[in-house]
Amino acid sequence: MAKIISNSKIIVNWWDFYLVKWGIKKNTTLLLKSKPDILSIVLDKSMILGRMTLIKTVFRLLNEDRIEYYDDSKEMVIYGKNKEINRRGHLDIKAIENIERLLNLRLPFEEYGADFFVLDIDKGFKFIIRKDNIYDLGVANETFFKGEYSSLSAYLKGSTVLDIGSYIGDSAIKFILEGAKKVYSYEPHPGLFKIALKNMELNNLNNKIILKNYGVGDKDEVVDIYEDNLGATSCFGLENKKGGRKVKLKITPLQQMIEEIGDIDVMKMDCEGAEFKAILSCPIEYLRKINVMVIEYHDDPLVLIEHLKRNGFKARIIHQCVLANKNTGLLFATRRDRTN
C-alpha cells in the first residue's frame, strides 16, 4: 500500500494520507493524477477505517491508467480490464468499486436514481443494487449467474417456495425466473426489505412474491443488531458487536411461517446463524410440510443434519468453507417420503 500511495505518478500530496491515518490531520483533500485533469477526493479517518477497499481500488485504477477525469463536465471514465470497455458518467467516487466490477463482469447496467444501479439480468427482468455497496453486486452475481441455488432448480417449476433471508430480493426473483408459482419471502432488515420491495415492484412481481419484514427464530421477539459503517450487508448478525448503528429486527418462529403458508415445496434459508434455533425449535409435524430445503449454515452443521435425519429427511452438505473462522456452507435436505 505504501508503494502505491508514495508513487508520485498517482498522488500529488501522498503524505497527507498518512497524516490523516495517524490522526495528525482530521481530513484532507487528496489530489490524484488522473488524466486529463486532476481528480480530488476528500479523505478522513472514517473513510480510511471503513472504505479502505474503495481507496485501494481508486489507487489501483490510477496506477493502471484506467480512470479519466474531466473537470469541466465533472465526469469520469472508468475502464474495465484490458481497457476493452468503459463507462462514462457523472463523478461518483463511492460507486467506483461497483462500476469496475460490473465492467469486468460485462453486466449491462444503468443509473437508477441517485443511489442505485439497475442491472439487466434475464428474460427482461431487472435488479437494483446500491451504488456504494459491493455486497449487493456479489450476491446478485452469485444468485443470478453463478448458480448459488442450482440444487433447487429441478424442484422449482410450479412450486410454492418459502424464502427466508430475502436480502434485497435476489433469490425470490431467481425462483420466479426458474418457474416457481408463488414465493413467500422474509427479510428482517428494514433497509434491505425496502430495496427488496423496490425490486419486486420494478418487475411487477407483487402478485407472485409475498414479501414480509420478519426474520426467523424460535419465538416472537425483537432483537438488536449493530451494523458496520457500510450499512446493511449480507454479513450482519454473524457477530453481535456493540458498534455501529443499532437496528431493530422483528423475529417470528418457523412454525408460524409454515402455518401461514401451508404445504411448502421448496425452502431456502439464509438467516445468518438463526437457522439452528429456527429448525431445532420447529415441531416436526410442521417441518415435514416442507419437501425440499437448502439451508445456509454458519456453524457446525452436524446437529442440523442429525436432527433432520432422525425426523424423516435425507440430508447432506453440498458446499462448505470457512468464513471468519466459522464453518459455513449449504445443507441440502429432502423428505424421504416426498411424492414429487
Q: What confidence score (pLDDT) does residue 325 get? A: 61
Number of continuous H segments (helices) and E segments (strands) in the chain: 12, 19
2: confidence class by pLDDT, cuts 50, 70, 90: very low
pLDDT in tens, 146-165: 999 999 999 999 999 999 99
For 40-67, write each residue's pLDDT tens digit: 999 998 888 778 888 889 989 998 999 9
Report the pLDDT value the prediction gives residue 82, as an integer from 0 to 100: 83
Ordered alpha helix ranges (H), the chain: 2-6, 15-21, 45-50, 52-63, 96-105, 134-140, 170-177, 190-202, 254-261, 275-281, 284-287, 302-310
pLDDT greater than 90 at residue 305: yes
DSSP state of 151: G
Q: In the prediction, which pLDDT does 117 show?
A: 96
- What pLDDT was estimated at residue 224? 87
Rounded average pLDDT over 101-127: 92
Question: Which pLDDT score is estimated for 196?
Answer: 97
Return the pLDDT at 236: 41
Asked if the model's pLDDT at residue 228 lies above 70, the reply is no
CB contact burial 5-36 (16+ within 10 A = b; e otherwise): beeeebbeebebbeebeeeeeeebebebbbee
Percent of the chain residues past pLDDT 90, beyond the cut: 70
Residues 38, 69: contact at Cβ < 8 Å? yes
pLDDT for the residue numbered 232:
47
The domains of the chain, with CATH numbers, are 2-99 (no CATH), 144-335 (3.40.50.150)
Q: Global pTM?
A: 0.88
Alpha helices (H) in 141-266, listed in sequence order: 170-177, 190-202, 254-261
| pLDDT at site 323 | 59
At 186, the pLDDT band (50, 70, 90 cuts) reads: very high
**N-term to C-term CA, the chain:** 56
- Residue 222 CA to residue 242 CA, distance in Å, equals 17
Q: What span, in angstroms and rounded, lies between the C-alpha atoms of 31 and 89?
A: 20
DSSP β-bridge partners for residue 326: 323
**Predicted pLDDT of residue 18:** 86
Q: Residue 191: which of 235, 240, 248 has the closest Cα? A: 248
Q: Over the stretch 60-90, which tens digit does the pLDDT of each residue have?
A: 999 899 999 999 999 999 999 888 888 998 8
Residue 327 cell numbers, joined: 464453518
pLDDT at residue 233 in the model: 42
Per-residue confidence (pLDDT) for residue 206, from 0 to 100? 94
Give me the sheet containing 109-112, strands edge to edge. Answer: 109-112, 116-122, 125-130
Angle CA(156)–CA(161)–CA(166) in degrees, nearest 5? 115
pLDDT of res. 324:
57
Sign, Cα dihedral of 174, 152, 163, 208: positive
pLDDT recorded at residue 81: 86
Tell me the pLDDT band of 243, cut-offs 50, 70 and 90.
low
Placement of cell 416442507 in the chain: 290
